């Protein structure tokens, strides 16, 4: 072994020895206990904390695990084989780890998945102790997942539920989440004499008051000051919406205006974050006359607002105002997520009424119309859970914003829960200011009547794909009657609207459909300005019945999908006119007051 290699090995062993020194760590933890006592005492004096001892299990996880154990035990031969494989894997790991403990080059039998940031510290590889902890965790977690997947006799729904909650348990038990098994946290604890844990306790108590884990610096952003700053006016409002029109930045604009229908699960300014990543600002700079709906954050007074009301007081009211202001008979529309589901339903309603020529083209961003393969979100939409949600909505008049925020966090628990547990409470650091996460936490309520319809008709029963399965104000909805040219944008790593499910809409709508698949997820894949030159997207001139067949023959293109969409939308326009000015009768400056309304 070379002298340099020996020195490096000795340095690693010294670092490992320092981290695992029980006396030094014990002294630090005693110091932490002394520092923490007055902080805890003050907190409990100021707050009368009541613990929730509810035993409600709306997902019937206990029943699912009981089924799993029954089926597992019903085949003792297979169970024995699984256990033997498990122990053989453990023996192999012990053998390789022993070599490394003795200073040799043991093989790494279990590696984290690419992109798993929990084990990026060099100590997870260089330290024999932490390498063993890491690999034993990966071995056990993969065995648990395989046990669920390979157990015969379980129906698909039960297996999917088990798989999801097994992963939640596995993610929670990761060694990176605990002081004594995270080398970075141990090092910070020794270096700071435990001050990181004291700061972490203060952060934890602040989050208990806030009612959620902090994911960003909330003081770093103000809507209307450094978020949602594209210049415009509120030119109309009713109980459900404010309609915003944005100032032109070009001498000429496309003759056909553009209306955006955002989701009301979140606020519209995901499309207008900061100037450098604002989709709305980019649209204006491309020569579009842009209007967007800003939905109200509903309270109990709006409990009876229906899905039909969102169509009438939202889309129809906005279309009427756009027509009145621009004097144009039609416009292009963009619908994002739930806003896209509403837009597609509106198109079908208008087709039944012979009025669909009012919308010249429709763009759907990560939009579910066929909910059959809607992914893990569907796990939260069975009868038992819908009944629990409806009971809560009956009492409050709405589904509170926190419920959906927690659901979305569970879908990406390592990124949206555990990474912040480590950063905020173990490392004692403040979250980094991040506009996307500020927006993510600035959530909205959902009116009881509307949300009940959405849960039952769309997620549970998937009735939008069935002609006449849904009726809106006495009109049967039939997606196959829609002939409007459509552009579908989905994202490859979408955990809310899986692209395989959103692709199904191309087989429903009978107008010309262009499907584009972007890299990344539900938000980052959409909000991808060209200047960043990030990610890529896939295109295919054909739309076969299988999404996988579509992808197999699709061509990859570097960069943002925005310019590709711009080329498409230019073909849906009919020339240009002198840039339009906003009416002097505006109600207030953009982004308006509705977007500033906070959920209870």
> What residues are annotated to the active site?
337
Nearest of 173, 151, 170, 174 to residue 65 by alpha carbon: 151
Residue 590, by phi and psi: left (phi above 0), alpha (psi -120 to 50) or beta?
beta
All residues at 6 or more sequence positions from 380 whose CB lies less than 8 Å from its CB, including other chains:
59, 407
Terminal-to-terminal C-alpha distance of the chain? 64
Per DSSP bridges, beta strands 513-518 and 536-539 are antiparallel
CA-CA distance, 175 to 154, in Å (whole number)?
A: 30
User: What is the spatial distance between Cα 10 and Cα 197, in angstroms, rounded to a whole number?
Assistant: 29
Which three-class secondary structure state does DSSP give residue 29?
Answer: helix
What is the H or E stretch that residue 360 is in?
strand 359-365
Q: What is the DSSP string of 105-127?
A: -------PPTT-GGG-STHHHH-
Task: Tell me the sheet residues that pair with 362.
Answer: 333, 486
Question: Which tokens go with 260?
Answer: 């955006």
Find tokens 């698949």 and name the residue: 517
Write the CB contacts of 552 (distance below 8 Å, at least 6 apart in sequence).
Answer: none
Task: Show Cβ contacts of residue 354 under 8 Å, excluding neighbours closer than 6 positions.
Answer: none
- Give the pair of three-digit tokens for residue 70: 């029954």
DSSP string for residues in 197-233: HHHHHHHHHHHHHHTS---S-GGG--BTTTBS-S-EE
Residue 418 to residue 424: CA distance in whole angstroms: 10
């Amino acid at each position: 072994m070379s002298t340099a290699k020996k020195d490096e090995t000795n340095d690693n062993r010294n670092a490992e020895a320092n981290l695992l020194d029980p006396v030094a760590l014990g002294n630090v933890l005693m110091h932490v206990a002394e520092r923490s006592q007055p902080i805890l005492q003050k907190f409990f004096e100021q707050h009368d904390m009541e613990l929730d001892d509810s035993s409600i299990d709306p997902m019937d996880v206990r029943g699912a695990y009981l089924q799993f154990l029954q089926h597992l035990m019903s085949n003792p031969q297979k169970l024995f084989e699984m256990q033997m494989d498990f122990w053989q894997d453990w023996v192999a790991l012990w053998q390789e780890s022993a070599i490394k403990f003795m200073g040799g080059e043991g093989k790494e039998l279990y590696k984290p998945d690419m992109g798993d940031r929990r084990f990026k510290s060099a100590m997870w590889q260089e330290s024999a102790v932490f390498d063993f902890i890491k690999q034993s965790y990966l071995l056990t977690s993969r065995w648990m997942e395989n046990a669920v997947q390979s157990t015969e006799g379980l129906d698909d729904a039960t297996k999917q539920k088990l798989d999801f909650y097994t992963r939640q348990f596995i993610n929670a038990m990761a060694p990176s989440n605990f002081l004594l098994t995270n080398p970075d946290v141990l090092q910070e604890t020794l270096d700071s004499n435990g001050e990181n844990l004291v700061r972490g306790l203060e952060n934890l108590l602040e989050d208990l008051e806030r009612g959620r884990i902090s994911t960003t610096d909330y003081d770093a952003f103000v809507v209307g000051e450094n978020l949602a700053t594209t210049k415009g006016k509120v030119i109309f409002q009713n109980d459900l919406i404010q309609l915003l029109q944005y100032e032109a930045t070009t001498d000429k604009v496309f003759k056909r205006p553009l209306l955006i229908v955002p989701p009301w699960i979140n606020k519209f300014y995901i499309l207008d974050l900061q100037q450098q990543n604002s989709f709305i600002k980019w649209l204006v700079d491309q020569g579009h006359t842009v209007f967007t709906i800003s939905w109200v954050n509903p309270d109990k007074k709006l409990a009876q607002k229906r899905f039909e009301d969102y169509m009438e007081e939202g889309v129809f009211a906005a279309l009427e105002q756009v027509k009145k202001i621009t004097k144009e008979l039609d416009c292009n529309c963009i619908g994002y997520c739930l806003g896209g589901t509403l837009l597609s339903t509106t198109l079908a309603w208008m087709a039944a009424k012979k009025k669909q020529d009012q919308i010249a083209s429709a763009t759907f961003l990560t939009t579910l119309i066929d909910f059959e393969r809607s992914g893990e979100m569907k796990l939260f939409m069975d009868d038992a859970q819908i009944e629990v949600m409806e009971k809560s909505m009956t009492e409050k008049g709405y589904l509170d914003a926190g419920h959906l925020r927690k659901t979305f966090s569970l879908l990406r628990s390592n990124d949206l829960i555990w990474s912040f547990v480590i950063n905020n409470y173990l490392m004692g650091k403040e979250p980094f200011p991040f506009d996307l996460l500020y927006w993510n936490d600035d959530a909205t309520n959902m009116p009881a009547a509307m949300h009940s319809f959405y849960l039952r008709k769309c997620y549970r029963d998937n009735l939008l794909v069935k002609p006449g399965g849904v009726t809106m104000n006495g009109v049967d909805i039939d997606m196959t009657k829609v002939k409007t040219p459509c552009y579908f944008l989905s994202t490859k790593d979408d955990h809310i609207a899986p692209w395989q499910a959103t692709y199904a809409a191309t087989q429903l709508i009978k107008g010309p459909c262009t499907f584009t698949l972007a890299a990344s997820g539900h938000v980052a894949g959409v909000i991808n300005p060209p200047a960043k030159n990030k990610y890529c997207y896939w295109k295919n001139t054909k739309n076969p019945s299988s999404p996988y067949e579509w992808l197999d023959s699709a061509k990859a293109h570097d960069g943002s999908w925005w310019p590709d969409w711009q080329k498409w939308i230019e073909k849906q326009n009919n020339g240009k006119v002198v840039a339009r000015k906003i009416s002097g009768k505006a109600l207030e400056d953009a982004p308006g007051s509705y977007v500033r309304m906070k959920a209870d």
